[in-house]
């Protein structure tokens, strides 16, 4: 839309960038860790899935950022195939890319 700046994809932000957003917004700094975990550990597909955040915080995130989905582009496995650790091979690494 003309006159409306494009929102930045929240997945492009570092943890420090997310922390700075919450600091500037006078929100609790620990929210940055919660959001970062939802993005990279829990695999949230939307802000609405971040259920441990207050609705007001989720709404603020939606107003300031876009939320582009990601997909596993490839999985890399080490040649020595170490033992499984918590259901995931310790030698496995997923490589992500943004979905169009």
Within a domain: 41: yes
Q: Give the pLDDT confidence of 38-94 residue by residue, as tens digits.
A: 998 998 889 999 999 999 999 999 999 998 866 656 666 666 655 555 555 555 555
* pTM for this prediction: 0.66
Beta-carbon contacts of 67 under 8 Å, excluding residues fewer than 6 positions away, are: 9, 10, 11, 45, 46, 47
Structure-model confidence comparison of residues 35 and 76, the more confident one: 35
Separation between Cα atoms, residue 42 and residue 25, nearest integer Å: 24
Using CB atoms within 10 Å of the CB of residue 14, give its burial: 0 to 12 exposed, 13 to 18 middle, 19+ buried: exposed
Q: What CATH number is associated with residue 21?
A: 1.10.150.530
Indicate if the pLDDT at residue 100 is higher than 90: no
Within a domain: 25: yes
How many domains does the chain divide into?
Answer: 1
Q: Which domain holds residue 69?
A: 8-73+84-98
Per-residue confidence (pLDDT) for residue 95, from 0 to 100: 52
């Amino acid at each position: 839309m003309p006159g409306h700046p494009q929102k930045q994809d929240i997945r492009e932000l570092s943890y420090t960038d997310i922390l700075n957003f919450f600091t500037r917004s006078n929100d609790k700094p620990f929210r940055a860790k919660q959001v970062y975990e939802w993005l990279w550990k829990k695999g949230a597909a939307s802000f609405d899935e971040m259920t441990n955040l207050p609705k007001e915080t989720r709404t603020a995130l939606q107003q300031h950022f876009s939320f582009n989905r990601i997909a596993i582009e490839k999985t890399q496995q080490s040649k020595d195939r170490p033992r499984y650790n918590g259901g995931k091979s310790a030698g496995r690494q997923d490589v992500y890319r943004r979905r169009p």
